[in-house]
Structure formats: C-alpha cells, structure tokens
Structure 1
Amino acid sequence: MDGCRTSRAGTNVDAAVALFHSLSDSTRLAIVRRLAGGEVRVADLVGELGLAQSTVSAHVACLRDCGLVEGRPQGRQVFYRLTRPELMDLLASAETLLAATGSAVALCPNYAGDAAAASASSTPAGALT
C-alpha cells in the first residue's frame, strides 16, 4: 500500500479522513451536539437550527452513512441518536487542542476560509461540545 495512506502500524488513514470530513461542517457539528442531549427528529432539528428540512435531512443522512448516527422508527417518525458516545470525547479533545493552539488553526493558510465560514455560522468559534 502507499506509505502516505497508511500509518507505520499499518492502519489505513482513509477512515480517519472520512470521519473528520463528516465532522467538518458546522451544521453537522451542531446536529451532533444536539444529539448528545438525546434522541431527536429531523423536524425538531429544523426548528432548532432554522434550516430547511431538506438541508437537515441531507446532513443527518451524511452522519448516518458514516455510522455516527442511527434512526429509530416510531410510527411515521424517525428519532435519531448518536451511535457512539465516544464521539463526544473526540470533540472534547478537539476543543482542548484548539484551546492549546490558540488561533493557529484559525490562521492556517490552508483552511483559513473554512475557519472564517465556521465562525460566521451558528456554531460559536471554538465551541465543539
């Protein structure tokens, strides 16, 4: 295998890239934060986030496809929840890292535009959990 895609221990990094990509959107992070508090329907998320139902559904589907969220049908409704509570530990660790690096990540020349867009969104800058 390509050494750039595999760590020394032989673990493929593609899964990690997919995980972090799935969490790279401020709306998906807001959904994850909300789901940390318990099950919720897409309709509830629409009201809380102030976004279109189709937008929220697409983000929930992304999280579901990545195995981070699962749905529990109840009648005509589906209640979504986090599949792994460890996800909140990961986000807490990221928040600690961001606090330790200060503004270095926000000023990164590769992702400065992404950081600016994230800070302009409904998710407060630096607040992941």
Structure 2
Amino acid sequence: MARNKILAGIALAIALTSTAVPAQAGQISINLAPRDAEQHRMLQAGLGLYALVNEIESGSIRQNGIGNIAGIMQGGGNNLGIVHQEGNGHNGTLDQQGGGNSYGLFQFGEGTSAHVRQSGGQSGLGFVFGW
C-alpha cells in the first residue's frame, strides 16, 4: 500500500515537471554557503535586509511567470525563507527545520528545478538560471 502511494507521488511529480520543462531544457546553479560563523551572520544580515526592503516576514514566495511551482515548509523559530521565481515552469522548494535558518532561492529563465533542506542554524543563497 505504501509503495503504491510512493509510486503515485513520483508519477505525479514527473507529470507536473514534464509538462513545465521543455525537452531541450538546461540549467546552471550557483550556490553560496558560509564557511564560518561570521559569514553566516553576514549572509543572514543580507537576507534580512532584502526581506525588510521587500516587506517579507519569515517566509515568502514571489512568482512572476506561468506554470511555476514553489513551496516553503518551516519548523522551529527564527527561520527566514525566500523563493523568488522569474520566468516560466520553475519548480522550487525550501524545507527549514530547527531554528535560525535563512535561505534565498532565486530562479530565473525557464524550467529550473531546485530543492533545499536546512536542519538548524544554516544559511545560504541559490541562484538557478534555466533555458
């Protein structure tokens, strides 16, 4: 029974992404992660400033395009999650568990796919460009 539910979920995910991404699609990703506590604080401050300027609270999804899919799941306190999609057919999720996480996922162009999971006290930036 559980196997059938998993297979059904996989089939649904494939169907959703296959209709949104053309056969000749490609993408390039640039991921930034701090190496030490100082860089972590700087990255968090930068995302906090971005959130303040854009009137974002703990989690935000901004989409400009057609056929985009995005989600943010947060568990714990003091998490900041941003998913920003410009263009069509993007698929992006951010899962933040534990406290003190911050991440900005920015997708541009066409048909990108990016998924991030944080488990407590992590930060990062992801820029994904698709064609």
Q: TM-score, normalised by structure 1?
A: 0.25
Q: TM-score scaled by structure 2?
A: 0.24
Greater share of strand residues, 1 or 2? 2
